[in-house]
Structure 1
């Protein structure tokens, strides 16, 4: 049971949703996409909201388009809908390991990317593909590129409506590696997603630092062909963007050990795939 009252709105188009965010003004309003995280946090009194704007009724947020050049994913598509679309194998493999099948029927891709949890593993393939997020706001619609940034960069009164991915990334050789404390799904000790394009490896990570990341300096070390694979791994670890986290899932030392093993396997697998 949620221990507080709130107003509930379900607009049927983007303009109405944005208008509601504006009209609610000082009220503490939350965008409700899948709702799994909101309900969990609210039941534990770890989140408060005076109003909920449910965007699941907006057609644009349910769109799936694959025109051969771009993949467009509506923010309200569930993780299972994205997996079943079969349009981006690395993304499918990554989000399949986030939660069990039942939970994936409720968690949406947009809600996952905007999660309060630090892991947000579904962002990794989007960082690698430099995906664009379509953002709706009060006076404009804009696109932002994730690139190496792990932040959605939303301004007050804005919402993510769609994710746009260059189709070329869906056909690249890829590598996915995830280690959890005790099961195939769940919070990661380490997750690595990587692709190889034109003999260069690009990689993104979750579970290591306090947010998902991609590092150009780390990638440069991984692609230094003058070094042995083990030396490339050691050099890459010098370029972690933040301290390795330590919590009940695992120590920083253990996470770093798993990361080293994963990076070595990544180099081996992607170099073999390119031959």
Structure 2
């Protein structure tokens, strides 16, 4: 149970959802878009989230799309991680999403909910950062399509009243060789320590990381180093570790030194896997 009451709305269109948000915001009700509810329940119980009005967008058709065309994969933001895993249309996303929480939770956690979460892991964003995906966003200023790497800087920079509707990814990225590995320090389905995801495009490796810093990231500096053919694999990894963003997390899940130790070995595994051409 949550320690506060709230009004519950179920709009049928994007326009209705945006209008509702504006109206409720003007009334001072701190409205919240809702698609799975796991974060609201988790954070609301410990007084880290509060709203007087929940707008459930799961009934909006555009948010539930799962479509493959000749050139693109289109995924709606309210698709559950379980549905994405079962469809297996984007193997890197399937592998990454299948290691979020446990099976029961993945049936409730949505793609957009994970990407827009306040909990800093947000692993589902990693494949889209690597694939230069496009975001379909709507809000008070209308609809727009923007590159994810412009909108996601540690977190998705949505304006007040905006919501993520869909993610669009070119098929050439969907079919590319990939690597995804999560390491946990505690139990099999506990919070992750480090997650590394990678794609190999035109013989170049792209890499993104979650759990090292208080935000997921893709680093052009790391990629440049990892693709420098003048270095040995070990040199590539050591030099890549010297160009990490800050701060490095140091918490109950693992010290900063231990996280770097784990990341070093994951990067070595990644390089070996992708250089062999395996997934």
Cα distance in 1 for partners of 2:11, 2:62 equals: 12
Q: Out of 224, 228, 251, which is 1:224 matched to?
A: 228
Cα distance in 2 for partners of 1:220, 1:140 equals: 37
CA offsets per residue over residues 123-150 of structure 1, 9 Å max, x none? 1001000111111112310112112744
Cα distance in 2 for partners of 1:117, 1:234 equals: 29
Gaps of 5+ in 2: none
Q: How many residues end up aligned between the 2 structures? A: 274
Cα distance in 1 for partners of 2:203, 2:135 equals: 28
Structure 1 position 45, deviation (Å):
2.2
Note the 1:141-180 alignment, pairs <5 A.
141-147=143-149, 149-150=152-153, 151-180=155-184
Partner SS state of residue 188, structure 1 = coil
CA offsets per residue over residues 81-122 of structure 1, 9 Å max, x none? 111121100000001001211111111101111111111001
Cα distance in 2 for partners of 1:236, 1:77 equals: 34
Alignment of 1:200 onto 2:204? yes
Residue 110 (structure 1) aligns with: 112
Cα distance in 1 for partners of 2:175, 2:165 equals: 25
Alpha carbons 1:97, 1:186 under 8 Å: kept: no
Cα distance in 1 for partners of 2:31, 2:165 equals: 17
Residue 181 (structure 1) aligns with: 185
Residue 251 (structure 2) aligns with: 247
Note the 1:22-101 alignment, pairs <5 A.
22-24=22-24, 25=26, 26-101=28-103
Cα distance in 2 for partners of 1:250, 1:206 equals: 14
Cα distance in 1 for partners of 2:12, 2:273 equals: 46
Cα distance in 2 for partners of 1:181, 1:172 equals: 30
Structure 1 position 178, deviation (Å):
1.1
Alignment of 1:213 onto 2:217? yes
CA-based RMSD of the aligned residues comes to 1.2
Gaps of 5+ in 1: none
Partner SS state of residue 203, structure 1 = strand
In the superposition, the TM-score normalised over structure 1's length comes to 0.96
Cα distance in 1 for partners of 2:39, 2:132 equals: 26
Alpha carbons 1:56, 1:62 under 8 Å: kept: yes
Structure 1 position 184, deviation (Å):
3.4
Cα distance in 2 for partners of 1:221, 1:159 equals: 36
Partner SS state of residue 92, structure 2 = helix
Cα distance in 2 for partners of 1:186, 1:194 equals: 22
Structure 1 position 242, deviation (Å):
1.2
Residue 3 (structure 1) aligns with: 3
Cα distance in 1 for partners of 2:122, 2:108 equals: 16
Moved over 6 A (4+): none
Alpha carbons 1:97, 1:184 under 8 Å: kept: no
Cα distance in 1 for partners of 2:204, 2:58 equals: 39
